């Protein structure tokens, strides 16, 4: 089975890490994928294994119990898991690129000491920004935070929150003063057992079904004063800068998904015979899968490039938007064609092609829709020339 990974792109250490995650995905995750999809729930033993392998704290410094790895290592882990199960992949993705990332960058020392060891050892994290009336218009938040002296009181509802079902820690964005617009937005660290907080409806989804997507309800939710992440009124900055990095993670999920679909389809075409030879040898199909392989490789290099820029401390916002945009487009195209490559059985649940096809659609929606990525790219291109 091809890996589609050019050796010159990854270091020896990264290749060893990639092999370890790939083996875990194939040996431990793969046998459980379809049952998790049917049950719409990630096997808790797999989440426990992810903690044991330090996959839930990849960039967290060692002093807090993390692996102190690079952002590129997170991208590798997300890709390899997605090649087998995009649902488990996005669980690891959100934990690292959104939640831990935000805590590392914005939390004070006391919050880091209190929460990062738990995030590396047992607590799943969730990122709560979206609301019923706040999707692409991310800062039209209706959730309110009231300063009550020694604590904050949160009221409102969040929707489409990934990892919400398993999480013990939620990064919640609320507005302390709507008259200030986005400058009133503040980020809070909310524990699952805080008074006034509850998990509501779980969405019944088309794809990535094992990944929990839920409603969060805040009814006079009491949050300690010290649990503000960053500065009061600076939550918009936390949200924007964290999502910029998260988009690279989604790009990694999409290239992993596309690779998983492609590898399975090509293997099938090499075994399936018609008119006396494997269908992979017919030129009509060769031209199609050669084109897909080329676009998949291009998407991977875009994702890797954005990750390298991030690790190098260079500006990566445009490259992250481009990588997320293109990787999601390629994933949807590859997954669709791979169903066709399988023929009739591709339309059944006997093979994973139909699941990859269902899973691929989310790539053009979450962590910034396709149109939002295009808008970001266009604005940055114009800014470069002004």
pLDDT at 382: 97
Q: Please compute Rg for the chain using Cα positions.
A: 21
Q: β-pairing, 213-224 with 273-274?
A: unpaired
CATH number at residue 159: 2.40.110.10
pLDDT tens, residue by residue, 58-106: 999 999 999 999 999 999 999 999 999 999 999 999 999 999 999 999 9
Residue 7 lies in a domain: no
Does residue 163 share a domain with residue 61?
Answer: no
Residue 189 lies in a domain: yes
φ/ψ of residue 365, rounded to 5: -115, -55
191: burial class by Cβ within 10 Å (0-12, 13-18, 19+)?
A: middle
Residue among 341, 361, 366 nearest 351 (CA): 341
Residue 2 lies in a domain: no
Work out the percent of the chain whose per-residue pLDDT is above 90: 95
Does residue 365 share a domain with residue 250?
Answer: yes
CATH number at residue 85: 1.10.540.10
Q: Which of 297, 332, 367, 384 is catalytic?
A: 367
**3-state SS class at 67:** coil
This prediction has a pTM of 0.96
Residue 36 lies in a domain: yes
pLDDT at 137: 82
Contact present, 167 and 125 (Cβ < 8 Å): yes
Six token digits for residue 42: 């990630």
Does residue 375 share a domain with residue 270?
Answer: yes
Is residue 3 scored above 90 in pLDDT?
no
Is residue 1 scored above 50 in pLDDT?
no
Does residue 255 share a domain with residue 206?
Answer: no
Six token digits for residue 219: 């009814």
CATH number at residue 351: 1.20.140.10
Does residue 117 share a domain with residue 58?
Answer: yes
Q: Which of 233, 263, 290 is the last residue of a domain?
A: 233
- The boundaries of the domain holding residue 284 are 237-384
Residue 87 contacts by C-beta under 8 Å, 6 or more apart in sequence? 36, 37, 42, 208, 209, 210, 211, 359
CA dist 38 to 32, 207, 254, Å? 10, 11, 21
309-320 as b/e: b if 16+ CB within 10 A: bbeeeeebbbbb
Residue 6 lies in a domain: no
End-to-end Cα distance, the chain:
48
Does residue 365 share a domain with residue 294?
Answer: yes
**Torsion on CA atoms 302, 102, 12, 55, rounded to nearest 10:** -110
Does residue 138 share a domain with residue 81?
Answer: no
Residue 363 lies in a domain: yes
Q: Which of 124, 151, 171 is the last residue of a domain?
A: 124
User: Which run of H or E residues covers position 290?
Assistant: helix 283-311
Does residue 176 share a domain with residue 267?
Answer: no
Is residue 136 scored above 90 in pLDDT?
no
Confidence of residue 303 (pLDDT cuts 50, 70, 90): very high
Work out the percent of the chain whose per-residue pLDDT is above 70: 98
Does residue 150 share a domain with residue 90?
Answer: no
Distance CA 9, CA 189 (A): 37
Helix/strand/coil (H/E/C) assignment for every residue in 81-98: HHCCCHHHHHHHHHHHHH
Residue 34 contacts by C-beta under 8 Å, 6 or more apart in sequence? 349, 352, 355
pLDDT tens, residue by residue, 266-291: 999 999 999 999 999 999 999 999 99
Residue 328 lies in a domain: yes
Domain count, the chain: 3
Six token digits for residue 13: 């250490």
Confidence of residue 5 (pLDDT cuts 50, 70, 90): low
Residue 227 lies in a domain: yes
Average pLDDT, the chain: 96
Does residue 256 share a domain with residue 373?
Answer: yes
Report the largest interatomic distance among the alpha carbons of the chain, rounded to a whole angstrom. 79
Rounded to 5 degrees, what angle do the CA atoms 294, 251, 362 make?
105
pLDDT at 9: 80
Contact present, 236 and 309 (Cβ < 8 Å): no
215 flagged as catalytic: no
Strands (E) located in 10-166:
125-128, 144-147, 151-162
Q: What is the mean pLDDT of residues 233-242?
A: 95
Does residue 256 share a domain with residue 318?
Answer: yes
Q: Which of 233, 257, 287 is the last residue of a domain?
A: 233
Confidence of residue 8 (pLDDT cuts 50, 70, 90): low
Q: What is the mean pLDDT of residues 294-316?
A: 97
Does residue 156 share a domain with residue 120?
Answer: no
Please, what sign has the CA dihedral across residues 84, 307, 70, 231?
negative
């Amino acid at each position: 089975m091809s890996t589609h990974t050019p050796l010159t792109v990854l270091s020896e250490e990264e290749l060893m890490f990639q092999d370890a995650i790939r083996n875990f995905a194939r040996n431990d995750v793969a046998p459980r994928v379809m049952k998790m999809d049917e049950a719409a729930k990630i096997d808790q033993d797999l989440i426990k294994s992810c903690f044991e392998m330090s996959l839930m704290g990849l960039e967290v410094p060692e002093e807090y119990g993390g692996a102190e790895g690079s952002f590129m290592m997170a991208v590798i882990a997300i890709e390899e898991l997605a090649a087998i199960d995009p649902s488990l992949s996005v669980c690891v993705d959100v934990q690292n690129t959104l939640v831990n990332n935000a805590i590392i960058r914005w939390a004070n020392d006391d919050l880091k000491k209190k929460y990062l060891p738990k995030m590396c050892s047992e607590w799943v994290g969730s990122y709560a920004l979206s609301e019923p009336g706040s999707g692409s218009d991310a800062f039209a938040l209706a959730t309110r935070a009231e300063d009550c002296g020694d604590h904050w009181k949160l009221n409102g509802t969040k929707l489409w929150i990934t990892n919400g079902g398993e999480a013990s820690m939620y990064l919640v964005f609320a507005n302390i003063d709507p008259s200030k617009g986005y400058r009133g937005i503040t980020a809070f660290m909310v524990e699952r057992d805080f008074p006034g907080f509850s998990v509501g409806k779980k969405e019944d989804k088309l794809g990535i079904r094992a990944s929990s997507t839920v409603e969060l309800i805040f009814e006079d939710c009491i949050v300690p004063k010290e649990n503000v992440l960053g500065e009061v009124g600076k939550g918009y900055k936390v949200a924007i800068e964290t999502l910029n990095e998260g988009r690279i993670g989604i790009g990694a999920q999409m290239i992993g998904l596309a690779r998983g679909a492609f590898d399975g389809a090509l293997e099938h075409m090499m075994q399936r015979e018609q008119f006396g030879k494997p269908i992979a040898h017919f030129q009509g199909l060769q031209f199609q899968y050669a084109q897909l392989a080329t676009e998949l490789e291009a998407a991977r290099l875009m994702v890797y490039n954005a990750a390298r820029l991030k690790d190098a401390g260079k500006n990566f916002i445009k490259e992250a938007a481009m990588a997320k945009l293109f990787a999601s487009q390629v994933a949807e195209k590859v997954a669709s064609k791979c169903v066709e490559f399988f023929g009739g059985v591709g339309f059944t649940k006997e093979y994973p092609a139909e699941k990859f096809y269902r899973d691929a659609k989310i790539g053009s929606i979450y962590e910034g829709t396709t149109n939002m990525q295009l808008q970001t790219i266009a604005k940055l291109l114009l800014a470069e020339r002004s």
